Amino acid sequence: MNRTVYSIEGKELRDIELDEGVFGLPVNEDVIWYAINNELANKRLGTACTKDRGEVHGSNAKPYKQKGTGRARRGDKKSPLLVGGGTVFGPKPRDFSYTIPRKVKRLALKSILSLKAQSDSLKIIEDFSVESGKTRDLAGIIKNFGDGERTVIILKDDDPKIKRAGANIPWLSFLSYNRLRAHDLFYGRRVILLETAVKNLNAFYGAGEAKGEALQ
């Protein structure tokens, strides 16, 4: 599979080959769903906490006698039925994170990349950096490939300057080729790949997958 490489001005430069095992797979919706839900679950803090009737402040004394008042029976003021009482089956601090098989995660990422390639929402541009680290300079480049849509840029490495330049653009996010996130990638309306990142993805997830796993 060949795709066009564009310059930062939006002009066609040359073609680049995409590995069919990374960008040409049938889309597996099930593993995409599992991967996204796994990422969302792992991000949950799980710090919500409520007090049951044994933890709220209050007296253990019976508020009034059992019989003869015409009112309902009350054991103490901490009953969940009363204002200020405990909570029944409320949340407690817990860990929501869990793991999924590594092969499932990798298949999900390759399925999303294939989905983006098939829908033509994937663009490949020549390698660039923003030496000034200014948002204005990066915004001028991104404008040539669509402005205002949720966009994901896949980098060839961890480039702090380009990430700094994009920090003030709310609809823009960055991913390294070897640290992809299924949620960001799937919901990105436009995916921009740097030219070297394509070659790295071909090696990391494609024919050189075994070598890529050894690098993780």
Per-residue pLDDT of the chain (216 residues; tens, 9 = 90+): 888 888 888 888 898 988 889 999 999 999 999 999 999 999 999 999 999 999 999 888 999 999 999 999 999 999 999 999 999 999 999 999 999 999 999 999 999 999 999 888 899 999 888 888 899 989 888 888 877 789 999 998 888 889 999 998 999 999 998 899 999 999 999 999 999 999 999 998 875 454 444 334
Distance separating alpha carbons of residues 148 and 194, to the nearest angstrom? 20
Please report the domains of the chain, with CATH numbers, ordered by start residue: 2-28+101-215 (3.40.1370.10)
DSSP state of 173: E
Q: Which of 105, 110, 118, 108 is nearest to 205 (CA)?
A: 110
Q: Which pTM does this prediction carry? A: 0.81
Model pLDDT, residue 3 = 86
Sign of the torsion angle spanned by Cα atoms 204, 27, 120, 160? negative
Decide if 23 contacts 117 (C-beta within 8 A): yes
Distance separating alpha carbons of residues 102 and 100, to the nearest angstrom? 6
Q: Measured in Å, how far apart are the chain's first and last C-alpha atoms? A: 26
Distances in Å between the Cα of 112 and the Cα atoms of 21, 52, 116, 186, 214 are: 12, 44, 6, 6, 23
Answer left, alpha or beta for residue 65, where phi above 0 means left and psi between -120 and 50 means alpha.
beta
Model pLDDT, residue 207 = 59
Total number of residues shown for the chain: 216
